[in-house]
Chains A and B, each alone.
Chain A
């Protein structure tokens, strides 16, 4: 008998069971926080084990990319390098964090198959592991921001403390989008490639190397509805002392809330199927 053939009474008890299961999973993620933090930390130490530089390889490539892009575009767009390079550095590093959630969500569950098939561990915890890992990598990359700001003597803005709530929003959104996305990618294995190409398109329509303030009207409009530009702006603007727009914060917060509601509904409904999809 499949789920669709169930009579009404059973489907109501099924809903209760799903709700209870999702709650227990969240509880396991909280109580068993050591599991996913340890796994995330292991992901990082593994990179260190393979080479002395470890995740700093990523930092190095971030630095090269930021430097090259900064000089190239500063020349092309006739901008002053000491204003432009910090702008690109912060934007690119935060973009790296936000896009890593999209890129890694699909592999969350399949790559944890070895664990998931042997022990009943929290599925939310598996997503938290990926988000935590990418956050640690972000902290490595943040070195690029610090170095660039020091080189160009950029003093953090008066409201630079806002980068902390901005990061919290970014991580929160990361969990909320990765949970359903990771589940869908586990069921439909071709979605991962689609997301990979989507990310490269998103990079160009997100204000990382262009500033919405000086861009054409059309581009500025795109950046207003692109949630990623909001997540980047909430971090970049206070740090570099740019004017802070309430609009960005509202978009980032609204996206996180809407995504969380969707993630909860999706997780309650399909959580029990993850193991059958792997």
Chain B
């Protein structure tokens, strides 16, 4: 059974200044005592507490919505769940195949053609070149890009790029799916198609974690939610409870 478990997870981000990034300054600070103090004042590395003490257990069938203002730590939490950032303290357990769609353009090589990008993304998701190539007809049909797929992606309009990226990102069927802010770009015809495709993907996954500002999206896809504020989970409950509390945030 797929499982995603976070146990008292903390994440601190070091904020390096240009000086804090300098090896020369670091070495000088070790050598000279006179300049040392001055340099140490500059070298101060401030850390930002991005996530504090987050514990969550997600099992088969859980569809969790992350609610919170910008900077509350939603995206950081999604990246911790995807295994990209490792917690400074605490444990995370991921059981099952996991895929995250946090930035549609990930892995899009602008110089490469649409076809090559489809294969590249497939390989990133652990497929063989042949398996990745097998997806081409379906993606070509869905995106309605046709012959444009033979051209470099940099020649595409923004709308075409999004269509391709969306189609390529959503061909996978992972156990655990992590989504950040579903896209709202594109024309009405495409948005309708994208919604249907997203529905297919979400219903095929066992665990979903979704960060969104849209109440409609959260109500449609999620069966539980957490409210995040300043790096902490301040409420863990039903979607309605969390949305109500979100509106009442000071």
Q: In the complex, what distance in Å separates the CA atom of A119 from the CA atom of B152?
A: 23
Contact assessment for A118 and B21 in the assembled complex, using a CB-CB cutoff below 8 Å: no
Instruction: Give A154 to B12 CA distance when docked, in angstroms.
Output: 61
A188 touches B26 (CB 8 A): yes
Given A118-B106, A188-B21, A190-B23, CB of A1 within 8 Å of CB of B84:
no
Is A2 within 8 A of B21, CB to CB? no
Most buried by A among B21, B22, B86, B105: B86
Q: State in angstroms the CA–CA spacing of A31 and B126 once bound together.
A: 9
Size of interface on B: residues with Cβ below 8 Å to A: 37
Given A2-B12, A188-B26, A276-B85, A119 and B124 touching (CB < 8 A)?
yes
Per-position binary interface string of chain B over residues 187-217, scored 1 when its CB falls under 8 Å from any chain A CB and 0 otherwise = 0000000000000000000000000000000
Q: Are A275 and B86 within 8 A (Cβ)? A: yes
Assembly CA distance A35 to B126 (angstroms): 8
A264 to B29, CA, bound (A): 28
Digit string of B32-45 for contact with A (CB within 8 Å is 1, else 0)? 00000000000000
Which listed segment binds B: A109-117, A141-149, A218-226, A250-258? Answer: A109-117
Please tell me if the beta carbons of B21 and A189 are within 8 angstroms of each other in the complex. yes
Nearest CB in chain A to that of B11: its residue: A276
Segment at the interface with A among B107-115, B138-146, B237-245: B107-115
CB <8 Å contact, A21 and B23: no
Q: Complex Cα distance A32/B128, Å?
A: 10
The verdict on B170 contacting chain A, using a C-beta distance below 8 Å, is no
CB atoms of A190 and B24 under 8 A apart: yes
Contacts A117-B84, A119-B124: A187 and B129 contacting too (C-beta < 8 A)? no
B84 and A120 contacting across the interface, CB-CB below 8 Å: yes
Q: How far is the CA of A240 from the CA of B89 in the complex (A)?
A: 57
Q: Could you tell me if B86 and A118 are in contact, using CB atoms closer than 8 angstroms?
A: no
**Contact between B88 and A118, CB atoms less than 8 A apart:** no
CB distance from B72 to the nearest CB of A (A): 19
Which 5 residue pairs of A and B lie closest in terms of their CB atoms, listed nearest first? A118-B106, A188-B23, A120-B83, A272-B86, A189-B21
Please give the residue numbers on chain B whose beta carbons come within 8 Å of chain A beta carbons, in ascending order.
10, 12-14, 16, 21-24, 26, 47, 79, 82-86, 88-89, 100, 102-103, 105-107, 109, 111-112, 116, 119-120, 123-124, 126, 128-129, 152
**Which residue numbers of A lie inside 8 Å of B, CB to CB?**
1-3, 21, 31-32, 34-35, 38, 42, 45-46, 49-50, 114-121, 184, 187-191, 194, 272, 275-277
Give 30 pairs: A residue, B residue, CB < 8 Å, sorted on A.
A1-B10, A1-B89, A2-B47, A2-B88, A3-B88, A21-B86, A34-B129, A35-B123, A45-B112, A46-B109, A115-B107, A115-B124, A117-B79, A118-B102, A118-B103, A118-B106, A118-B107, A120-B82, A120-B83, A121-B124, A187-B21, A188-B21, A188-B26, A189-B21, A189-B22, A190-B22, A190-B23, A272-B86, A276-B13, A276-B85
